[in-house]
Structure 1
């Protein structure tokens, strides 16, 4: 089986716009074959906070922009309530292509969790984004993003909402792990409680940003 690795597609010394253009042609893992397009990060290079999700969803895949679907609406509302300026935030995903299965009737594309191998293959893109932005704080939204940033042993359930400093891999930026906004949508009768927890975690971020 061919090695999964996006590194050969990541141009050196490229700014975010050039990285985004290059990512459109990434063939570092097989996920590109079924996805509509690469969904790269979005925001200003001067952003103080980078929010990292798992992967694009159905709407993100169709529109080519991160966090524009239902989970994105939850995230943006939570950021607003927490006091995080969207203009000071960059949003992206650990994996840049939508991984899915098709429903039995063939009408719905259902999210499928990327493997650790696929996450590792895409990590050079995330590393390049963080190197160009050098944020004060990185927010890992959910387990996949947290493991991409902190390693496979990291557990969001144990360390969510806590400010961590991972060291040189993120140039000393703080990192904070919380739930993915899609988990709020799946929480059923506990939705309000989970949403309040997401807002509380993001307020920690807002306090760091001042």
Structure 2
């Protein structure tokens, strides 16, 4: 039987701005991931950002530093944003799950990323919904399947719906969403495969920026 999680609702302050949400998230125990993670890694960026990018979860570097997208995948995302003509400082960057989930390698300090379950993503979704309400972006960019399915449901497939601007409704709030691959999937590739995947990510980011006229 899958573990049950209380969910983050009781930790999310009603009507709070990004600063208040970030402070409240530090004490969240909405799922068991907080027990092993170093800290909550909340979203960052201007509260009036027109583009809001959502990844899966913080990685090892993000968990240690407390900031989203500062590890290898974040560095590749920076390269893709630059190639797409997008200023990262104007984006709001966050993750569907705010704590690092990992497997610890015995006799080593290494921690290997482990994909969060749907239950963990659902438990953490109140934080993401609160971020969306506070920022009110013109477009949400979902990076990878976990982020896209946390917002669009488990039947959503990035492989068939990437690059499309789609309606997103959450608790009577309406947004638009564009899904693409997660930068970590590009990091794992090499040679021509990596070049092709990187070009596809840049293309999708350009489409996102063009949608909101932010390039």
TM range (shorter): over 0.9
Structure 2 counterpart of 1:16? 18
Counterpart of 1:198 (choices 181, 198, 201) is 201
**Are residues 170 and 89 of structure 1, via their aligned partners in 2, closer, same or farther at CA, if it must alter by over 3 Å?**
farther
1:46 pairs with 2:48 = yes
Q: What is the deviation of 1:169?
A: 4.8
The equivalent position to 2:147 in structure 1, one of 138, 145, 157, is 145
Provide the C-alpha distance between the structure 1 equivalents of 2:172 and 2:205, rounded to a whole number of angstroms: 19
1:97-125 CA-partner distances (Å, limit 9, x unpaired): 00000113322100000000000000000
Q: Which residue of 2 aligns with 1:182?
A: 184
8 Å contact from structure 2 (residues 5, 120) kept in 1: no
Q: Alignment partner of 1:55: what SS?
A: coil
Segments of structure 2 that go 5 or more residues without pairing to the other structure are none
1:115 is aligned to 2:117: yes
Looking at structure 2, the residues matched to 98 and 151 of structure 1 have their Cα atoms a distance apart, in angstroms, of 22
The SS at the match of 2:15 is coil
2:79 to 77, 80, 85: 77
Tell me the matched-pair count: 210
RMSD between superposed Cα atoms in Å: 1.3
| 170-179 vs 77-86, greater mean Cα deviation | 170-179
Trace 1:149-164 onto structure 2 (pairs within 5 A).
149-164=151-166
Greater CA deviation, 112-121 or 98-107?
98-107
Q: TM-score, normalised by structure 1?
A: 0.96
Whether contact under 8 Å (2:5, 2:32) holds in the other structure is no
* Secondary structure of the corresponding residue to residue 164 of structure 1: strand
Q: For 1:168 and 1:94, locate their aligned partners in 2 and report how far apart those are by CA, in whole Å.
A: 14
- Asked whether the equivalents of residues 4 and 119 of structure 2 are also in contact (C-alpha less than 8 Å), the reply is no
- State how far apart, in whole Å, the 1-side matches of 2:172 and 2:141 are: 12
